[in-house]
Amino acid sequence: MVSLNKSEYKLAPSILREYDIRGLVGQTLTENDAFVIGRAMATILNKKYKITAPKIVVAYDGRHSSPLFSSFLCEGLCVSGCEVIEIGCGPTPLLYFTVEYLASNAGIMITGSHNPPEFNGFKFVVDGKPFYGPSIKELGVIVERQDFLEGKGSIVKKDLSGAYIESLLNLCGSLLPNKVVWDPGHGATAEIIKTLIDRLPGQHILVNGSIDGAFPSHHPDPTIPENLNEIISIVKQKNYDLGFAFDGDGDRIGVIDELGRIIWGDQLLALLARDVLVDYPGGSIIADVKSSQVVFEEISRLGGMPIIWKTGHSCIKDKMLELSAPLAGEMSGHIFLTITGLVLMMLFILHLDC
């Protein structure tokens, strides 16, 4: 068990960000930090949300530091009375899926997202809603005071990747036999995609398809054009229909069309709105302030209600809940649907001829 000096422990203020916790491994973010973050989250769930013996799902990305962070985090949750389900390495959408699938109270994703390998951090979901802003600050205060709940929890390991893949395939139905290049960038989506494309019609090429937290091929950020050069080249040379790229934890997407052109986040949102608004006529479609005017005009033309909102995945998710919006997106490549996960790609493939 981790032993802490009650009078001295404090999280580095710089890691307590608006939407998550993130820092430099071994410098501003340590394994002991993971332990006390677990204890603080368990305390918040009990005292603020009034959840006794909360069930909480923990997952982590492919960074070399992530498994150890997960071990310390899970221990902190356990000694403060949580029932912990550790699902191992996988993308953030898998965590969200598992939280709902197991009817859990909360989820924590250990990830540095699209940042270089020396970064890591934590994203949270509680009671089906984003956990951010003042809640992150509150967690930091509880750590500083070490006013932790004591308890005796449990830790179990489960693999829900198969159920996740089956859910995606069931939601998508019949798909066009397209030729697609996939680049998980050695990130946490790699194994999921490898299994998924074996079940899809068409022809598929997987590059950088092993999980490697050093990201040896390129930086895991699909919003930077040079990180898409490899799949652009393959799409053009082999006359493929599409290319997909992902960030380190699989919640940002980059899309390449058949001519090797990048389809930016706002353009992708406008394309997806065509299909979503068929099922949700007049629905609110949310785009962040960085999006172009074209996307708002296209949503209006399609009969939807365009909503401009502040950047930040937690802010966008809150607004979606407020408006019961079926679709939202950011220029960063975050796409939010009422059905979560990689389904956005399937929708895009399915209606490629629109």
* DSSP assignments along 137-198, one per residue: HHHHHHHHHT-PPP---EEEE---HHHHHHHHHHHH-S----EEEEE-TTSTTHHHHHHHHT
Cα–Cα distance, 348 to 275 (Å, whole number): 9
Q: Which residues carry out catalysis?
A: 113
Measured distance CA(30)–CA(52) in Å, rounded:
28
Rounded Cα distance between 64 and 136, Å, is 25
The span from the CA of 286 to the CA of 265, in Å, is 12
Q: Which of 46, 36, 125, 38 is nearest to 77 (CA)?
A: 38
Measured between alpha carbons, how far is 3 from 35 in angstroms, rounded to an integer? 10
Parallel, antiparallel or unpaired: strands 203-206 and 179-183: parallel
Q: What are phi and psi of 302, to 5 degrees?
A: -80, 0
C-beta separation of 123 from 92 below 8 A: yes
CA dihedral 317, 320, 325, 330 (to 10 degrees): -50
